[in-house]
Structure 1
């Protein structure tokens, strides 16, 4: 939090205005001096130009992030032999990310990540109606912030520290996508020399609202984004998960994972039990559920997930200050999307590990509260640590 505060206190907004104006191939001024690598990422239909910023660390890793959707576009990580490869799904230009068919590749999702039942919730005695932009099981719900969520908004570069950190800001006006309150959010990406990609979100509001900002990268640690992740070995330190109805909305129950294919407390291949005759898996078309962490740490960081690709040896450990993690196994990728390098993204070619508050929390008073009030600061930290073995 101290590092973020330092970033926010840097009086360099004017200097960073060059980031928004720099043409392809140019660089932008960093708050630490020198030039911050920035390139054009293409234009939106209204002519607005999106940009791509490259973060690097001493180990040779790179992370490319865009001001459109505060999106992680690519991340290179070494395998057990020291060979680097991009381990994320994504597109070559902003047009792919602006498409409504984009399944939130690398996005910073908001205002509310995951689902809200029927696009409705009540707050302080008033009912709010949101877009119903998803219909699992034929039951409409609100998903990932609505028709034009934070993933399809232009963010402003607020500050940066060469060569490893950049902060974006977006101000969501009162009533945007049906949500109450003007919400000011920041997303900071930091690539550390310990091979960690840190995603940190903060937000403040001028009236009570609901919030669940989520990072939504799709990972395939093999480095070949056309291969299945079913052989990736997953560990989730969670004794309970949230069963859902046919619309993938939590029922309110916290069900034990013991004795079910939802138990990943011991390292288990993702594909080992994904086709078992189990109600939760049938409803989700595979894994697409929220696991409740056994030992969360809301004031620090707790391990939320560990995944290993046995062939490349790459390992990803995800830690967070949130109470839960959504594990999605790429069930709805269907081979109709073509991404970077001409790769066709087929079913279960990537997985998502989204640390978060509980889905549909505004409609479940028994869940941890998703309400943010004036004078409070929302804070979500998510650290992705990469290694090889």
Structure 2
């Protein structure tokens, strides 16, 4: 597991995420946020003068974080990052734990943030933007590898609705079933999903399983259809961890758990990174899938959702856990 100070970025982990070899390329604007810490506002913030994506040009993925490696417990590795921005001080802690047989690797990411101007309202929503491509790392000889041979399970098929069904328009504050999933054959018998079928707990989780072969996703899914309107809170770290997605390829499975109320799934269909200096490969479309756990899209501007992201209430906190298993 390696990191880059730019964006407190997760650069590599178990040959399963996309990343650059040359650290300077994380500042290249072709970088589609590989492994970055996104903030101060993840996803899209709809403003009168346009959409601010992942904090815009001044977003935290483009800034240098201070890194430290405190003492870790046995069989774990802890790396911490701190960013003192103009109005906010933010922290990210990565904790890696491996099973004795090395077949299971768990990476916990904990976020916290405080306003430097006590009591002043401002939006906050942080996430990790790793692109996963299991046991391929985005490269395989000549040509581009894609995630089309991956299978995906999601805990819910309801997404945040956007006006006129367009991502260019702001959310309405409602949840609807994701038509892209339905068109892709979601809800088929799990017997057709050979890799996912080997995940012993899947049958008890419910949800929706699909093949990523040709499936195009760029949607914000709700963990729970009622939670967004039921118990908005700024610090979710004490909430139960919920398995929200399982990505599978062959004998490798990635389980994504979080305390957050939402998660964005993006199949990288607009990624196109040319061969940059110091790199051994480029990255084409669909070379990885991002699963970004965070607060609801545009919560700052949606009545009833603002308490999820208002840093004027106190300390912000969240947790994401990735569990990588190999048979």
TM-score category of the 2 structures, normalised to the smaller one: 0.7 to 0.9
Comparing both chains, which one has the higher relative contact order based on Cα–Cα distances under 8 Å and sequence gaps of 6 or more? 2
Q: Which runs of 4+ in 1 moved over 4 A?
A: 295-298, 337-341
Structure 1 position 287 matched with structure 2 position 217: yes
Number of the residue aligned with 1:212: 125
Alignment of 1:77-92 (within 5 A): 86-92=15-21
Count, aligned residues: 277
Distance in 2 of aligned mates of 1:257 and 1:75? 31
Distance in 1 of aligned mates of 2:10 and 2:324? 15
Number of the residue aligned with 2:208: 266
- Structure 1 gap segments, 5+ residues each: 1-62, 77-85, 121-131, 133-139, 174-181, 275-285
Number of the residue aligned with 2:90: 185
Cα gap change, 1:303 to 1:261, in 2 (>3 Å): farther
- Name whichever of 204-213 and 290-299 sits farther off: 290-299
Cα gap change, 1:292 to 1:302, in 2 (>3 Å): same
With normalisation by structure 2, the TM-score equals 0.78
CA drift at 1:157:
2.5
8 Å Cα contact 2:272/2:285 also seen in 1: yes
- Name whichever of 337-346 and 325-334 sits farther off: 337-346
In our comparison, the structure showing a higher alpha carbon Rg is: 1
Cα gap change, 1:339 to 1:199, in 2 (>3 Å): farther
- Structure 2 gap segments, 5+ residues each: 100-104, 140-144, 188-206
Correspondence for 2:134 among 221, 225, 233? 221
8 Å Cα contact 1:89/1:339 also seen in 2: no
Correspondence for 1:319 among 229, 232, 257? 257
CA drift at 1:343:
2.0
With normalisation by structure 1, the TM-score equals 0.66
Cα gap change, 1:184 to 1:335, in 2 (>3 Å): closer
- Is the partner of 2:300 in helix, strand or coil? helix
Provide, for residues 219-267 of structure 1, a one-character-per-residue CA deviation record: whole Å limited to 9, x for no partner: 1003251311012110110141123325164233310248824757332
Give the CA RMSD over aligned residues. 2.4
Alignment of 1:293-312 (within 5 A): 293-294=223-224, 298=236, 299-310=239-250
Distance in 2 of aligned mates of 1:287 and 1:235? 13
CA drift at 1:94:
2.1
